[in-house]
Structures are given as C-alpha cells and as structure tokens.
Amino acid sequence: MYRLILVVLLLTILYFLLRQMFRGFTTPIRGGREKSGSQLQEEEQDQMIEDPVCHIFVPKRIALIEVIGGREYCFCSQECSVKFRAEHPV
C-alpha cells in the first residue's frame, strides 16, 4: 500500500514536470513581457474560436489567424483560409 502511494506521487511529479517542459517548448519566451501578462495571454491563447468556413471550434493557439478586410478570422487550416478568401474577395 505504501509503495502504491509513492508511485502515484512520483507519477504526479513527473506529470507536472512534463507539463512544464511542454509549455516551455510551445510558448516562445518573450523578454520582459513574461511576468506582466503571461497568465492573461495564456487564457487568451486557450480561447476557442469558430472557423467561419467549416464551423469547427479551434483553440486560438493552434488556429491560423488572418486579417481579411480589416477583420481577424481564425481558421482550422490553410485550406479553410483559402476557401474563405475565395468566397469573400476584399
């Protein structure tokens, strides 16, 4: 029983370490601004945005963001962006 608790504890620590490592890789380090708005920025990055072409909700951090006609649109893929541009010529 004691060993089980130890294993769970170790796995939890490993999980947090891996998560931190993963975040380090995905979030580019911007000098100076890190401390001020990192939490806010992270929340914004986790925001789900609807693709106007296929209506899939995409997290902002992986979405393809393009400004078309002064408005910001988020697409799930380059394909959708091309389709949107074809349908909405500026």
Examine residue 81 and tell whether it contacts Zn ion (CB under 5 A).
no
Candidates 54, 60, 64, 85; binder of Zn ion (CB under 5 A) is 54
Examine residue 63 and tell whether it contacts Zn ion (CB under 5 A).
no
Contacting range for Zn ion; rule: CB under 5 A; set: 8-16, 21-29, 30-38, 74-82: 74-82
Examine residue 80 and tell whether it contacts Zn ion (CB under 5 A).
yes
For residue 28, which amino acid is it? P
Residue 10 tokens, joined: 């170790």
Contact of 74 with 63, CB cutoff 8 Å = yes
Residue 14 tokens, joined: 């490993």
Our CA angle for 3, 7, 9, nearest 5°, is 115
Binding site for Zn ion (CB under 5 A): 51, 53-54, 76, 80
